[in-house]
Structure 1
């Protein structure tokens, strides 16, 4: 008999305080239970029970060993469940959240790819520019930009984003390129009123500039369109202007003054015992976001 099975028998004897009851629960003969406990005692070199004709009581060594056995058996059961579950078929509805523009640009294509791979699955995408309570709002997976508070959730870093100041080549040709953050006071600024927006723009070397935007818009798409049109400068996260940068419609300035980039994490509350729908989506979204050149 292997040690794992012998430990299971020992735990049951400790709980029932009876070799006969243990044999009945585990569908074994009473002599087989007795032999298993005796073999375990021989292996560890200590008596686990004091046996009389009327009772079975644990020794001091047995009481200490019981706690260790329960922990070890629990770890084995969890490991087996995780291994078995890794081959389970995803099912149900997957709920995913991310910030609005990031979700539309980078998470939504991954969700549709996932649904193509698992056609019996359904998904709910929740893209908003505000903190989402994952547990209360029934979210399976979140993609978060920024530093995370301690939560006990599983968090996997997949990339970084920078806050950048940008404008169109036509604007810079007409109005010049700011050389320092302080020069922004001499330029037309279009600013977003999104969740993280602030009138104080912070830069490296502890430089701060209070911005008085001439134009305020409630979406990042609007200020980006304004900058592409050559009206003025704006400040956004660099992934938001990736296509415009590649097309040459926008250029980044003051790059040497940028603050350290913000991390991007894939977050889920289930830990290693997450259901198959979460594990399979997390594997996919982590792989795709880490391969995205705009996020690294």
Structure 2
């Protein structure tokens, strides 16, 4: 069977999570895809998928090979676009992921504008407050906030954000504002469950551990923000999350000298994706958005 076709089948099965779904995407049949994957595995001398009656998942060897397969197919597609003379025209579907609130506030406006301007471009965006597996899930570009782990992925730094302690004017009128870190122990705190779950807050002077469990614990940024604005207590959120509320006077920044070092905002993607017109356009637009909003 044609080697290029078996690579396309492999990437499709990995992306769709099954042989039947991959066959539908490719306009083929499940038996043909099954034969293609079997031929590829025989050629490579290793199993690429774990198969069961309920699910198909990548083996360690399959996960390692997926990035290379996508890179090869991406380079071929880019070469074809160059020959056709359309290398500067963004087209196809751009698959993005970002933290929920950052995506809603800053990625969504960029994508909206790109879709309006470029009729041949489509987009799919997954907003989720955890780091997804970029290669395995077929992500073109991921927004990451904070330090990056070592990987073979390419990163472009586009901005930075800071952690901020905030509370509402009503809460501060009732309880007073902490003047030093030690006074936080006497205040009502709003805690977070999820990717940022911790029993301490990172401050400029070091890690401050909760002496008692926060009175209110939520699992989304929106809920923590709403609770802080309602006067429930003090929240520790990121600057882009509270910017509108602080500017409008609904929240007040506390202990500004205790803000820790800024966290970088990166766009993360496979090196092979860098040549895609849609990816280049998105990166440039996100850089412009960060400059416009002051998150640089």
Structure 1 residue matching 2:88: 3-state secondary structure: coil
Which ranges in structure 2 are unaligned for 5 or more consecutive residues? Answer: 1-77
1:141 aligns with 2:135: no
Mapping of 1:98-137 within 5 angstroms?
98-137=98-137
1:240 aligns with 2:241: yes
Mapped partners of 2:86, 2:287: distance in 1: 17
Please name the residue that 2:217 is paired with.
216
Mapped partners of 1:271, 1:125: distance in 2: 20
Mapped partners of 1:107, 1:265: distance in 2: 12
Mapped partners of 2:216, 2:198: distance in 1: 14
Bigger drift between 219-228 and 265-274 goes to: 265-274
If you compute each CA radius of gyration, which structure gives the higher value, 1 or 2? 1
Deviations 1:33-90 (A, max 9, x none): xxxxxxxxxxxxxxxxxxxxxxxxxxxxxxxxxxxxxxxxxxxxxxx96995784311
Tell me how many residue pairs correspond in the alignment: 218
| Cα pair distance change 1:86/1:171, threshold 3 Å | farther
Which ranges in structure 1 are unaligned for 5 or more consecutive residues? Answer: 1-79
Please name the residue that 1:188 is paired with.
188
Mapped partners of 1:194, 1:134: distance in 2: 20
Mapping of 1:15-54 within 5 angstroms?
none
Deviation at 1:209, TM superposition (A): 2.4
Please name the residue that 2:165 is paired with.
165
Mapped partners of 1:122, 1:166: distance in 2: 38
Mapped partners of 2:274, 2:249: distance in 1: 46
Deviation at 1:274, TM superposition (A): 2.2
TM-score normalised by L of structure 1: 0.68
Partners of 1:153 and 1:271 within 8 A in 2: no
Bigger drift between 200-209 and 112-121 goes to: 200-209
- CA RMSD in angstroms comes to 2.4
Mapping of 1:60-71 within 5 angstroms?
none
Deviation at 1:180, TM superposition (A): 1.7
Partners of 1:190 and 1:233 within 8 A in 2: yes
Mapped partners of 1:221, 1:272: distance in 2: 32
Deviation at 1:205, TM superposition (A): 2.4
Deviations 1:185-209 (A, max 9, x none): 1111121213113111121222422
Bigger drift between 203-212 and 250-259 goes to: 203-212
Deviation at 1:161, TM superposition (A): 0.9
